[in-house]
Structure 1
Amino acid sequence: MDFNRVGTTGITVSDLCVGTSPLGGMPQTYGYGVEEDRAIATVQAVFETPINFLDTSNEYGKGESERRIGTAIERAGGLPDGFVLATKADPDGRDFSATRVRRSFEESCERLGVERFDLFHLHDPERFAFEEITAPGGALEGMRQLKEEGLVTAIGVAGGDLEAMEQYVDLGVFDVLLNHNRFTLLDQSASPLITKVVELGMTYLNAAPYASGLLAKPLEQKPRYQYREPDAETVARTQRLRALCDGYGVDLAAVALQFSTRDPRVTSTLVGVSHPDRVHELVANREAVIPDELWAEVAEVATHD
């Protein structure tokens, strides 16, 4: 596993990050729930690996993800040395003001049992008008205030809509962009924005390399694609990719993960994990040996519809 710097912030993270939205028990998103004991055990399993990066959010499971992670941290006697814990500012209904960002920060600190964060994201701001977020007294002002006060080391923007994300990147105030489901074996639409982010000196974090499940689970388990039912064409491409990998005796999940981790523009790859065993599988997929010949054949399917 490699470790990379987050810009000039002094933060160093593993090239794998564990995403924790499933740990909040969100069956409406993932099609399954996760009990509290299993969620806590999953976080404890992360602490046993080389991974030093965990990502959560104020609103995952209405705060349940953070509460469960906080319990795991408490049982471990605190975060391991050098461990980077990131969370996100979320609105309260239609309130995404600077005051709400501050309150979101305080709620997260309380649940997680910490006083500050290395990395704090503005979460899915595309839910609001850009002018509202960036206006005086808006969420952006709240993010900048937290950084100026030293309560967070780096601020990021996290979301899925590429056009909206580029608007926030162009502001020149964020250290990090976290984008999900747009740089995978099935969708590389984020690639131009990734290049731009890196050229601007920002850090890019790539979330959901399994496209929310389709590239990691067999079809009989009815995995989702970008949090929805996959269409027939996407299923067919996935089947071709799986057949290629099977021919080399390599797991498609390992190829899907390393498609992201091997790209030098990507500082860390975020994968949602919902079971302790999945943590160890994630590390194994990261370390799997994949022949160059397979990469060449995968590229033909990955880049052509």
Structure 2
Amino acid sequence: MKPVSPWGLGCAQLGNLYHAISDETAEATVRRAWDEGIRYFDTAPHYGLGLSERRLGAALGAYPREEFVLSTKIGRVLEPDPAGAAERDAQGFDVPAAFRRRWDFSRDGVLRSLADSLGRLGLDRVDLVYVHDPDDHFDDAVNGAFPALLELREQGVVGAIGAGMNRTAPLAEFVRRFDLDAVMVAGRYTLLDQPALDELLPLCEKRGVAVMAAGAFNGGILATAEPGATYDYATAPPELVEKAVRIAAVCARHGVELPQAALALPATHPAVASVVVGAHDPDQVSLNLRRSRTPVPEVLWTDLIAEGLLRPDAVVTCGGRP
């Protein structure tokens, strides 16, 4: 698999996640990420019903193809839905519902989804393809999607394959069953939640599977100095808000903002190849990278552990990434 940059740009926001942005803002966001040194970009058909792929492909067309790594996903095939064009998408993206998502982890579904993605991206290939959210389609993914992707990788159609989910146990099972290059784990190795340490991260480190750590802010609660109210795209339970407030207080004692620590934690594990963070505009890209490049004192981690706010095995190495 082509090496990825230590920080990646997650492109759900280019699909108008939560609120709309202009094409110009989307292009400027990718351009700022490039100027800041990011060379790994992740998207999916799910993000804005294809809008993220179209915008990302258009923006990356300005750069040499060999100089970046692009990943997209299979699992949701987009089908035209003219009747929905006057409605808005019901899955968090501010776009017309002119397409419907259909779950499909079959071999034919993989081939169709990938061909459609290449058409939207306007590129001749993608470097990494993930099986996306097969939570309720485990057998279909095992019998259809993964064998199809293994075949495509062997043929050189795609460079690398993997799986992307919010749950760690199925990801670990996929790593055991298949020769995967990478996994993307969202929201399960964060300041608030570290179940990826139970099995997934050690297994990936042992097998040489690259881990892309996404969802470092847990959907919003860790994205600001004062904890937010959204956890994993829903209202945060009171006990998690209370825990985040306590973590923020420890961070403040050491002159560290909560989002700075949230970005620093996943970068400490040797199995993590890239920490993938989204942005709605260029300034957000620069802010996140400035935070991520500011070192966090080791005593912060020891204090969080001492106060029972962080697992003792959570921090493997210290120091920031370039």
Question: Could you tell me the TM-score, scaled by structure 2's length?
Answer: 0.83
Q: What is residue 107 of structure 2 aligned with on the other side?
A: 98
- Going from structure 1 to structure 2, the CA distance change for 1:239 and 1:231 (only over 3 Å counts) comes to same
The answer to whether the 8 Å contact 2:172/2:203 transfers is no
Give the deviation of 1:73 after TM superposition. Answer: 2.1
Which string of whole-angstrom CA distances, capped at 9 and with x for unpartnered residues, describes residues 151-183 of structure 1?
111101111122222221121321111111110
CA distance in 2: counterparts of 1:251 and 1:170, whole angstroms = 37
Distance in structure 1 (CA, Å) of the matches to 2:67 and 2:27: 20
Q: Give the aligned partner of residue 111 of structure 1.
A: 120
C-alpha contact 1:217 1:223 (8 A) present in aligned 2: no
Structure 1 equivalent of residue 291 of structure 2: 285
The one-letter code sitting in structure 2 at the alignment partner of 1:22 is: Q
Instruction: Establish whether residue 61 from structure 1 lines up as the match of residue 69 from structure 2.
Output: no
Task: Select 1:256's aligned residue among 257, 262, 277.
Answer: 262
Say if 1:16 and 1:270, in contact at 8 Å, map to a contact too. Answer: yes
C-alpha distance in structure 1 between counterparts of 2:290 and 2:66, whole Å: 23
Q: Secondary structure at the match of 2:230?
A: coil
Contact persistence 1:57–1:90 (CA under 8 A): no
SS of residue in 2 equivalent to 1:127: coil
1:118 to partner: Cα distance: 1.6
Greater RCO (Cα-Cα under 8 Å, separation 6 or more): 1
Alignment counterpart, residue 12 of structure 1, candidates 3, 12, 19: 3
Please identify, of 79-88 and 287-296, the stretch whose mean Cα deviation from structure 2 is larger.
79-88
* Change over 3 Å in CA distance of 1:139–1:172 after alignment to 2: closer
Aligned equivalent of 1:181 = 187
Q: CA RMSD in A?
A: 1.8
State the Cα deviation string for residues 238-267 of structure 1 (Å, max 9, x = none): 111111222222211111111111222211
Match of 1:134 in 2: 142
Alignment-mate amino acid for residue 91 of structure 1: R
Displacement of 1:80: 6.2
Q: Which runs of 5+ in 2 are unaligned?
A: 78-101, 313-322
Aligned-pair CA distance for 1:14: 1.4
- The corresponding residue for 1:5 is none
Query: Which whole-Å CA distance do the structure 2 matches of 1:94 and 1:292 have between them?
Result: 44
Correspondence for 1:212: 219
Q: Is the 8 A contact 1:253 1:285 kept in 2?
A: yes
Give the corresponding residue for 2:205.
Answer: 198
**1:84 aligned partner:** 69
Aligned partner (choices 22, 27, 32) of residue 13 of structure 2: 22
Percent same amino acid among aligned pairs? Answer: 32
Contact 1:178 1:206 in 2 (8 A): yes
2:279 is aligned to 273
Which has the larger displacement, 91-100 or 57-66? 91-100
Amino acid at match of 2:112: R
- d(CA) in 1 for partners of 2:146, 2:3: 25
Higher mean alpha-carbon deviation, 140-149 vs 235-244, is at: 140-149
Q: Quick one: structure 1 residues 79 and 55, their matched pair in 2 at CA, closer, same or farther if it must change by over 3 Å?
A: farther
Give the residue type in structure 1 aligned to 2:164: A
Answer yes or no: is the 8 Å Cα contact 1:47–1:80 preserved in 2. Answer: no
Structure 1 unpaired stretches of 5+: 1-8
Aligned to 1:170, what secondary structure does the other structure show?
helix
- Aligned amino acid, residue 195 of structure 1: P
Q: Which moved more, 1:241-250 or 1:231-240?
A: 241-250
Q: What residue identity is the alignment partner of 2:145?
A: A
Matches within 5 A, 1:140-151: 140-151=146-157
Q: Does 1:235 align with 2:235?
A: no
Matched, 1:39 2:46: no
* Whole-angstrom CA distance in 2 between matches of 1:104 and 1:187: 32
Length-normalised TM-score, structure 1 = 0.87
Q: Give secondary structure in 1 for the equivalent of 2:242.
A: helix
Instruction: Measure the CA separation in 1 of the matches of 2:119 and 2:126.
Output: 12
* Alpha-carbon distance, 1:91 to partner: 2.6
Mapped partners of 2:15, 2:182: distance in 1: 24
2:35 aligned to 34, 45, 48, which one? 48
Offset at 1:214?
Answer: 0.9
- Counterpart among 289, 305, 310 of residue 302 in structure 1: 310
Q: What SS is found at the alignment partner of 1:274?
A: coil
- CA drift of 1:199 comes to 1.0
Q: How many residues end up aligned between the 2 structures? A: 285
